[in-house]
Amino acid sequence: MSKLESLESNYSKVAQDWNTPITHSGQWFKDSYGRTLLMRGINVCGSSKLPTSPYSGSTHLYDDVLFWDHRKVSFVGRPFPLEEAEEHFSRLRAWGLTLIRILVPWESIEHTGPGTYDEQFIDYLRSLIELMPKYGLKCVIDPHQDTWSRFSGGSGAPGWTFEVAGLNIKHFKETGAAYVHNTNAVPGDPLPMVWPTNYTKLAACTMFTLFFAGDTFAPNRKYEGKSIQQFLNDSFVNAYQHLARRLVDLEAVLGFEFINEPHPGYIGLEQLKEFDPIVNLIFGDSPSPLQSFALGEGIPQTVGVYIKSWPFPTKKSHDRIINQSKTSVWLNDNSCIWKEHGVWKLDQDEKPVLLDSAYFSKHPITGKKISFYDDFYVPLVNRYAKAIQSVKRDWYCLVEPLANERAPVYKENDHHHNIVFSPHWYDLNCVFYKKFNGKITHDVQCLQRGGNVLNATYFGQKGAKKNYRGQIKNIKEDGLRDMGNKPCILGEVGIPMDLNDKLAFTDNDYAKHVNFLDAVIYALETNLINFTLWNYDVCNDHEYGDHWNGENFSIYSVKKAKEDYLDHDDGNSKLSKKHLYDGGRVLEAVLRPYASKVAGTPIESEFDLQNIKYTFSFIPFTKEQQTQLKQENYNLIDNTACTTEVFVPYFHFGGKALNIQVNEGECEYDEEKQTLYHTYNRDTMPDNTVITLQLGILNNEQPSTSCIVM
């Protein structure tokens, strides 16, 4: 009997299962045996940003009555109907993507009105999460938002939040306060990248400013006896604390995120004459902050219209006049909230002029320079994390920086307990242009941090890997430096599937997609980082993508799933091994080996897709580390504590003769469980020994497996 067969306890038996309490020690997540965890997963899903009723919420659809009835919606069935959960969870487990970032927009739980929660949706969510342990899944609750709300062109907050601020959502289109695909889109619009421009428009900028800093910058406006900021903050925190109480007994819940891709609105802008094109997407109709204020007040403005260009992302094409109807965006005859607070006025010629262009860069009373992170963001995160952890202290709270910016700096008095750094990363250049040919990539992060184009340009597939690896390395180091020695889960990363003019949808050649995503995941795995890909969407199709604002990122397509099933229909269930890959896109890059539970400290992880070869190295825990782990109550007595588990995807390795080499210890491979086990004798292992495991495919065709000790 081998040491592996004589294990006293092996909670998972399958590498990618997480049916264990998950804790952490420093920057590493741990299981109950003190093993280091490297988790991979997926966002579920993009269309969860939209309601399922009273009509399908896809952003290419519009109903003049139902769209505006934001209080009587339902998200039951997002991300998918309960009766389909077994199929999707089985598929994700088979794919090794078992950490689920599940989208739960604020609107989904509190759309009816402040303090009234959608218990039917929460019941559905409970039923969905209750199924997860059967498939070894853990999940993080993501209060997802994009540009504040569906009604300001994104997702997230309920429609009534605009009423709190005094904004009329039906007038956003005419006043240019938001670009909403349901109401604004016309044939020929470059849909996928218009929505982020709402971060420079009146509706989203105003709401974010009020949410984070309304007490500072708009103290004169009240709602039901409270300041707007406190009313919004109380509603948001209370809603997710209520959800936490409803989910507290579910073992699959790892924690709650604070808010997806937060934005400062106007907070911190040094001047209000124009937006900085280096940090903002200037595309389509692009009013300046002052022009936005005037448009909202019913004053027509001639604004610049920008189109895609090169080498700069966009350039001005022409001007056009907005709001010739002189419509006001403010409810109940109110005037602009920023005019009311002395930011701007009308001169004697009835032209808008700024009174204080630096209004949002300093405290209006003291004149002290403000910091979005220090003065507004982190204090609210502290409050939120404490509220969630008052329900269950063991839960994690995931915190992310502003999109494409460095992490917030955590100070001694901030709330540190079970805080996880959770940034996002995309190749913004490729995402914006929807192009990837593998010949040239650019380091947008380098350019944003002041680098030059020459140093930010990389050539070929190797160059792309080097480019992305360096960017992820910087992000990880930023988090450790600024937030402290905390774990990291990269919450969003992925590629558009409609690259290169959607050519792959017609010729079915996804080679460039595979190379693109291979370079991206290579950067993640070599940096030993936990991540959740964007995304798995059961609504995805070629025409409307993920059914939200023209995006098409899903690694699963229901259209392809039906085609795949019919292509090799053998009468078996959709849950059979063959059919679990139905609908998958770019699986060559997605499904790759990874050491998920490591009996030591990981130091190297790399999958060579071209040669189907995986290399992993780690250092078993030293005597000093073992002592510390015992003090932290990890179970090091069980032999499982010396067992490393590696997910070996059947997609690449199933039915093939494997070549497994390791310099110390012994291995055992279970193809059915897609798991390679490695164990060593702790008592005879010298400190700081590096154990290297290599996994590949033998050239011969005989399906046998050899484990060679090097």
Model confidence pLDDT, tens digit, residues 607-635: 999 999 999 999 999 999 999 999 999 99
Looking at residue 683, its pLDDT comes to: 87
Exactly one of 110, 257, 261, 400 is catalytic; name it. Answer: 261
- Pick from 102, 109, 166: which is nearest to 130 by CA? 102
Give me the mean pLDDT over the 295-319 stretch: 90
Q: Which of 64-68, 260-264, 573-577 has the lowest mean pLDDT?
A: 573-577
Query: What residues contact 468, with CB distance under 8 A and at least 6 apart?
Result: 427, 441, 519, 520, 522, 523
Question: What percentage of the chain has pLDDT greater than the value 70?
Answer: 94
pTM attached to this predicted model: 0.94
Looking at residue 193, its pLDDT comes to: 62
- Pick from 111, 101, 97: which is nearest to 50 by CA? 111
Encoded amino acid at 31, one letter: D
Of 14 and 570, the structure prediction assigns the larger pLDDT to 14
* Whether residue 83 lies in the annotated active site: no
| Cα–Cα dist 309/302, whole Å | 22
Q: Which of 97-106, 257-266, 273-282, 314-323 has the lowest mean pLDDT?
A: 273-282
Give me the mean pLDDT over the 502-530 stretch: 96
Of 576 and 170, the structure prediction assigns the larger pLDDT to 170
Q: Are 680 and 664 in contact (CB under 8 A)?
A: yes
Looking at residue 419, its pLDDT comes to: 98
Position 403 confidence tier, pLDDT thresholds 50, 70, 90: confident
Please write the tens of the pLDDT for every residue from 39-71. 999 999 999 999 999 977 788 888 889 999 999
Q: Which of 192-201, 434-443, 628-637 has the lowest mean pLDDT?
A: 192-201
Looking at residue 7, its pLDDT comes to: 43
Of 406 and 89, the structure prediction assigns the larger pLDDT to 89
Q: Is a pLDDT exceeding 70 seen at residue 158? A: yes
Q: Is a pLDDT exceeding 80 seen at residue 499? A: yes
Looking at residue 693, its pLDDT comes to: 97
H or E element: which one contains 426? none
3-class DSSP state of 496 = coil
Mean pLDDT of the chain: 92
Give me the mean pLDDT over the 311-331 stretch: 92
Position 299 confidence tier, pLDDT thresholds 50, 70, 90: very high
Looking at residue 6, its pLDDT comes to: 44
Q: Is a pLDDT exceeding 90 seen at residue 123? A: yes
| Cα–Cα dist 522/425, whole Å | 14
Q: Is a pLDDT exceeding 50 seen at residue 9? A: no
Exactly one of 110, 400, 492, 551 is catalytic; name it. Answer: 492
Looking at residue 83, its pLDDT comes to: 96
Position 558 confidence tier, pLDDT thresholds 50, 70, 90: confident
Q: Is a pLDDT exceeding 70 seen at residue 8? A: no
Give me the mean pLDDT over the 662-681 stretch: 95
* Whether residue 297 lies in the annotated active site: no
Position 189 confidence tier, pLDDT thresholds 50, 70, 90: low
Position 185 confidence tier, pLDDT thresholds 50, 70, 90: confident
Please write the tens of the pLDDT for every residue from 343-360. 999 999 999 999 999 999
Looking at residue 57, its pLDDT comes to: 73
Position 141 confidence tier, pLDDT thresholds 50, 70, 90: very high
Q: Is a pLDDT exceeding 50 seen at residue 161? A: yes
Which residue shows structure tokens 């602009």? 336
| Cα–Cα dist 214/17, whole Å | 44
* Distance from chain centroid for Cα 136: 21
Looking at residue 703, its pLDDT comes to: 47
Return the ∠ at Cα 439 (arms to 435 and 445), rounded to 5°.
70
| Cα–Cα dist 656/120, whole Å | 48
Looking at residue 700, its pLDDT comes to: 55
Position 282 confidence tier, pLDDT thresholds 50, 70, 90: confident
Give me the mean pLDDT over the 581-607 stretch: 97
